[in-house]
Amino acid sequence: MRILLAEDDQVMADGLSRSLRGTGYAVDHVASGREADTALATQPYDLLILDLGLPGMAGLEVLKRLRARNDAVPVLILTAADSVEQRVRGLDLGADDFMAKPFALSELEARVRALVRRSIGSGSNRLRCGPVSFDQVSRTAYIDEHPLELSAREVGLLEVLLQRMGRLVSKEQIVDHLCEWGDEISLNAIEVYVHRLRRKLEGCEVRIATVRGLGYCLERPVEPAAQG
């Protein structure tokens, strides 16, 4: 999952970025409202963490412009002022959640997970496809509840395929999901990651289908026909 963190306090931004990356998320950081607006207009994200007190363009204006583009990315607002008026205005403009500084990292991580679950329509921390499951809290994959050893890239690949199970996922979408600014992953490298993940899923009836020239699709196991 790829997150945009818009926060002008460098110390806080460094701490949040390290914490989120440590749980397997790709994080891009910007320190001004104009940078945030440009990034959101040119790059798809799974979540925006938005400080309201940004220089250059206020956080609420960033949010207003985001929703005016009909971008439904979940937004978690951060602010140093725990004012009801500011909270109401942010929610009215389309924010999904709100946290006042200071806050505990564990609570922010829990709210991030909740927003991700809500955005993919899941009420559980577990994504499932037949015997394969992925715990978004521990960032661990399982086959029939037996942990599966995956690299960080393979974890990210399995997550994006599970989130879009039964739907086509292009190589470009996978790159966007796995990479932060400054990272470089070629489309050929995506093929390598898919090949490695396929090998680790062998024998569990979950299949990663290739749609030549377009991308990949995670297919559910075929259930046996009922006897009658």
* 71-115 pLDDT tens trace: 999 999 998 766 778 788 888 999 999 998 888 888 998 898 888
User: What single-letter amino acid sits at 105?
Assistant: L
One-letter amino acid identity for 164?
A: R
For residues 141 and 197, membership in a common domain is answered with yes
Q: How many domains does the chain have?
A: 2
Q: What is the pLDDT of residue 7?
A: 95
| 6 and 70, same domain (yes or no) | yes
| CATH code where residue 55 lies | 3.40.50.2300
Domain that holds residue 42: 2-119
For residues 105 and 182, membership in a common domain is answered with no
- In-domain check, residue 73: yes
End-to-end Cα, the chain, rounded Å: 44
70, part of any domain: yes
pTM for this structure?
A: 0.72
If asked whether residues 131 and 112 sit together in one domain, one would say: no
Question: Is 224 contained in some domain?
Answer: no
pLDDT at 138: 76
Peptide bond preceding 102: is omega within 30 degrees of 0, i.e. cis?
Answer: yes
Q: Is 228 contained in some domain?
A: no
List the structure tokens of 99: 């946290």
How far is Cα 221 from Cα 147, in angstroms, rounded to an integer? 19
Residues 86 and 139 in one domain: no
Residue 168 and residue 74 share a domain: no
On whether both 88 and 187 belong to a single domain, the answer is no
**Residue 169 sits in the same domain as residue 62:** no
Beta strands in 80-131 (DSSP E): 97-100, 126-129
Let me know if residue 102 belongs to a domain. yes
In a domain, 7, yes or no: yes
Of 58, 88, 119, the residue that ends a domain is: 119
Q: How many CB atoms lie within 10 A of CB 104?
A: 9
Q: Is residue 132 domain-shared with residue 106, that is, in the same domain?
A: no
Residues 142 and 200 in one domain: yes
104 vs 106: CA distance, rounded Å = 5
Whether 23 maps to a domain, the answer reads yes
CATH number at residue 215: 1.10.10.10
- Choosing from 75, 99, 119, the residue where a domain stops is 119
Last residue of a domain, one of 119, 146, 174: 119
- Residue 69 and residue 17 in one domain: yes
Within this chain, do residues 115 and 130 fall inside the same structural domain, yes or no?
no
pLDDT in tens, the chain (228 residues): 789 999 999 999 999 998 888 777 889 999 999 999 999 998 888 899 999 989 999 999 999 999 999 999 999 999 876 677 878 888 899 999 999 888 888 899 889 888 877 776 655 678 889 899 998 777 889 999 899 999 888 988 998 899 888 899 998 888 887 777 667 778 888 999 999 999 999 888 889 999 888 899 998 766 554 444
Q: Is residue 227 part of a domain?
A: no
